[in-house]
Structure 1
Amino acid sequence: MLVKKKSFNRKKYVFVLFFLLVFRVFSFNGFAQNQEVLDIKAYLEQADEETIYPSEKQIEMLKNVIPNEVFQPAPKISDRVFWNEVAETESGKIYFKKALSYLAEAPEVPISDEIYRRANKEGNRTIYKPRYYNTMIRLEHFILAECLENKGRFVPQIKTYLRAIMGMKSWLHPNHDDRNNSVLEGKRVSIDLGARRFGSVLAVAEILLEDQLSPELRDKIKAQLQYRITDNYLESCKIPDKNNHWIDGKSNWNAVCTSGAVFTSIANAIDGDERIAAIGSAINSMKHYISGFGADGYCSEGVGYWRYGFGHYLYLAEILFDYTDGKINLFEGHDPDKLNRIADFPENFHIQNEKFAPFADGSSIVKNNEGNFAYVLAAKQYGARKPIENILDQAVEQLIVWKNPEDYTTRNTTNSGTFEVPNHSYFYDFGMVISRGKQNVPFSVAVKSGHNKENHNHSDVGTYILVLGEDLISGDIGAPSYRAGSFSPTNKARSSWGHPVPRINNTLQSNGRQFEGKITETKFTDAEDKVVIDISTAYELPVLESLSRTMVNDKSSAGTITIQDDFKTTKPVAFGTAITTFSKYKIVDANTIILTGKTQKIKVEIKSRGGKVVINPEPVPVEHMREGKGAVRIGIDFEKPLASGSITMKYTPLFN
């Protein structure tokens, strides 16, 4: 009998222990509330259309899914089991080694008022931006390295950096302040791409380091985060203003700034109602951000801003999923199918050899040194192709991976096989086509219709880019570097003057949503692709009856790509088109040009109907361009005005 009783008690003890562990898991973050999941579509239907701030009905819905405690993104430094395990991992050792290399470096902020004002006036980012991000990156490494080692070695520098950041009059990038530098002067507070990260770094320090920081220092951090981030964010959500213009925007700014403001608020704000309001505002705000993508998943900002903007959307989704134990799921959001297509955008937008179309302010290459967390999360959540390594450029990203390393494995390059890109990609909503050649030296083209009020807009309806091998041999020259005047619609690299599109009666394309192109015909086969675009509505010209651009990619042999513009007007007009390129050019005769890129060469044969054309090369008068130096616009212009005609440019690779 005694033996049976003893055996029964042991089983009961194990059962009770198991129950307590299960209860702890399901009540993590301090709540064991209604286990419902927020219906985001239904939530958005209750929004107040006049403001981003959640309505009373939305707040009631959120109360059922948001915990009572602040967000804890990772275990605190006192949890030595967790941090010692991380310290023994390969990534932990690499991170710690990098932190040691920074240890002797002093913070590079605050910058002087003189440099701040100069950067604002000139738009010169080089005189402040490296200092900002060097400071942030080093402090992040010191914080996590101290958690890994726990010997106090990094604490003096952490305190120095924290005080330096809190001593800044403005956390903004100087060129994001107004002309009067009113944030610097203390007349207002604002959140931008820099401020949101300064806030996140300080929040991580306060959350993780516990009594490694004095109560006075922690209180000062919390007060600054409340004032500079949470109060400012919620006020702008309540009353739309120009202070934080991004809150209802469609560009990367919205996702980046919102994710930072929300992280800081849910990790720092003592008032639970403020945490609810911050999350509720973010969900409303992200509806606007996602609407900036095409229904086909197209990102008009390009692959670089997809990485930056959508990466922060996914990061926001991750922290809200974690904080609410899965009850708020922005990975599905209000349109799961569209989010899947957005996640697949880089693969579909890729032309060949890691090259992308540099349309608008996009980039032709992906800079992995700037981080690839967007790819990491897209692979995890949507089944996109895994990257071969995880490159995490922020501490908050590193914490996510360290907490759940099994969720973030990389692609095995030895067993992954060859990734075969399709013969073409067609973004039907935005009107953009990539036609890929499959030759030994592939010859491909990306061409778009689009409209002239896209994110980071260029006046570029009908633009294209040709890629031969790894060379962007001809076509769109991409974005001017961000300096004073770079965003002006009259900047010749931003206006249609600096794009390979027609100019009619010295009239360029107009800006606005109504100035758009329409793809009117497509044909896709293994041997040939054809796209016809009506680009007439991109111009404000009453005399213009029709203007179409036809692209044909003949994939036989070495390949030929033809661009043909056909026009008709009610009276004779001066008409011309252009070749824009960074390649060296040689005018062989009145109808032939040779373009020589970094490794490839191409022949351009020019034909016209209706009259004779002349070749008019001139340099693009924009010194600082992202894609290279020495851009040229080679005008192909009719000698005399015509009421109808066409210009054809046939591109053929040349191999010695």
Structure 2
Amino acid sequence: MKFFPLFFFALLLWASAHSVSTAWSGIDSATSEPEIPVARVQEIARVVDPDFRTFGQPIENREFWENFLTAEIRQELIQSAESLLDQPLPPTTDELFLDFSRTGNRTRWQRVAGQRRGRVDTLAIAECLENKGRFLPAFREVVEGLAEEPTWVYPAHDKNEQNFRGEAVTIDLGSSRVAWELATAVALLDGKLDPETRDLAIREIRRRVVDAFRLKLEKKAERDSWFDRTNNWNSVCLAGVTGAALAIVEDPEDRAFYIAAAEKLSQNFLDGFTPDGYCSEGMSYWNYGFGHYLSLAELV
């Protein structure tokens, strides 16, 4: 059972005091100036909360975690993590990743990948609740497993297999989500993680998503199409990138860069709504896209 949505939105309520309000502005792709204005980055850097990393509190804040959720839900979360301790990390293979390009079947890889990724938040939440170190070795195993994957991009979004072959670093719905969940877990567990696990996780998050995003915006790497889309991809990927960046990036101006980028690019998502607020993608994608937009807004 996967508990991240419950955990995520519950913590969102606790995080409202940490949010920084910014004024949304449009994008002008025709200008020769940097896409993300330096002046705006500096302005945000002066007001952004230097202590905010992610929703919730680090594991060391025992008052927070010992009073978080009801006893019944806490026990359920811990039991869910306990059930994983005797189960090896489900293996994923090149053949499984390439299944989509060969057969068009995406469910076989996604089933295994979901089981692997689902351990990140399940184990992290349980460790934060219990604080005994029981779940840290299993968490380390997941980090090492994710680091070994050739890409975090969904096979269906890597149709030419450039990410799989290491020829490109695309940010998609899948990779941005993995980065955000893993970065959140690292931020919450920071003081309890061994340096090797922490450094490995941060290095992979930066390489695959956070640094890759900035390189694309600075025109040092190929731009992803969702930057300019008006559908759910824009808000979902931006939430993942921004959430991951705020969780692991230390420098105030670097953190402000990601907030400023989200502020500017997310206007494209809002432009996808008609004047009466209608979402042409339908109700389920409204929930998915606008839900992530709200999470992004709460982050910044």
Using the size of structure 1 for normalisation, the TM-score is 0.40
Letter in 2 for 1:101: S
Give, in whole Å, the separation in 2 of the partners of 1:162 and 1:135: 10
Residue equivalent to 1:61? 43
Partner residue of 1:186 out of 144, 157, 166: 166
Residue equivalent to 1:174? 155
Equivalent pair of 2:59/2:128 in contact (CA under 8 Å): yes
Residue equivalent to 2:229? 249
Partner residue of 1:80 out of 62, 78, 84: 62
Partner residue of 1:301 out of 275, 281, 289: 281
Residue equivalent to 1:145? 126
The answer to whether 1:105 aligns with 2:105 is: no
The answer to whether 1:39 aligns with 2:23 is: yes
- CA drift at 1:281: 0.8
Q: Whose helix fraction is larger, Structure 1's or Structure 2's?
A: 2
- CA drift at 1:305: 0.8
Equivalent pair of 1:70/1:270 in contact (CA under 8 Å): no
Query: Any residues of structure 2 matched to 1:298-377 within 5 Å, and which?
Result: 298-320=278-300
Equivalent pair of 1:258/1:282 in contact (CA under 8 Å): yes
Residue deviations 1:404-445 (CA, integer Å, cap 9, x gap) = xxxxxxxxxxxxxxxxxxxxxxxxxxxxxxxxxxxxxxxxxx
Letter in 1 for 2:193: L
Letter in 1 for 2:203: A
Equivalent pair of 1:70/1:268 in contact (CA under 8 Å): no
Give, in whole Å, the separation in 1 of the partners of 2:218 and 2:63: 43
Q: Closer, same or farther in 2 for the Cα pair 1:241/1:299, shift >3 Å? A: farther
Residue equivalent to 1:135? 116
- CA drift at 1:214: 1.1
Give, in whole Å, the separation in 1 of the partners of 2:261 and 2:240: 13
Letter in 1 for 2:217: C
Greater shift after overlay, 111-120 or 286-295? Answer: 111-120
- SS of 2:293's equivalent in the other structure is helix
Residue equivalent to 1:120? 101
Query: Any residues of structure 2 matched to 1:407-446 within 5 Å, and which?
Result: none
Residue equivalent to 1:269? 249
- CA drift at 1:148: 0.5
Give, in whole Å, the separation in 2 of the partners of 1:212 and 1:301: 42
- SS of 2:47's equivalent in the other structure is coil
Gaps of 5+ in 2: 1-16
Letter in 1 for 2:111: P
- CA drift at 1:243: 4.8
Give, in whole Å, the separation in 2 of the partners of 1:57 and 1:297: 32
Residue equivalent to 2:201? 221
Letter in 2 for 1:39: A
Residue equivalent to 2:182? 202
Equivalent pair of 2:176/2:237 in contact (CA under 8 Å): yes
Q: Closer, same or farther in 2 for the Cα pair 1:211/1:302, shift >3 Å? A: same
Instruction: Tell me which of the two structures has the higher relative contact order, counting C-alpha pairs closer than 8 angstroms and 6 or more residues apart.
Output: 2
- CA drift at 1:176: 0.8
Q: Percent identity between the aligned chains?
A: 31
Equivalent pair of 2:23/2:263 in contact (CA under 8 Å): no
Equivalent pair of 1:120/1:176 in contact (CA under 8 Å): no
Give, in whole Å, the separation in 2 of the partners of 1:104 and 1:259: 33
Give, in whole Å, the separation in 2 of the partners of 1:208 and 1:69: 13
Query: Any residues of structure 2 matched to 1:465-476 within 5 Å, and which?
Result: none
Residue equivalent to 1:288? 268
- CA drift at 1:193: 1.1
Give, in whole Å, the separation in 2 of the partners of 1:53 and 1:71: 25
Equivalent pair of 2:230/2:269 in contact (CA under 8 Å): yes
- CA drift at 1:191: 1.1
Greater shift after overlay, 77-86 or 245-254? Answer: 77-86
Partner residue of 2:75 out of 77, 93, 96: 93
- CA drift at 1:39: 3.4
Residue equivalent to 2:5? none
Q: Closer, same or farther in 2 for the Cα pair 1:239/1:57, shift >3 Å? A: same
Gaps of 5+ in 1: 1-27, 30-35, 321-656
- CA drift at 1:165: 0.7
Q: Closer, same or farther in 2 for the Cα pair 1:299/1:241, shift >3 Å? A: farther
Using the size of structure 2 for normalisation, the TM-score is 0.85
Query: Any residues of structure 2 matched to 1:376-391 within 5 Å, and which?
Result: none
Equivalent pair of 1:48/1:55 in contact (CA under 8 Å): no
- CA drift at 1:284: 0.9
- CA drift at 1:48: 3.9
Aligned length: 281
- CA drift at 1:124: 1.5
Q: Closer, same or farther in 2 for the Cα pair 1:39/1:202, shift >3 Å? A: closer
- SS of 2:98's equivalent in the other structure is helix
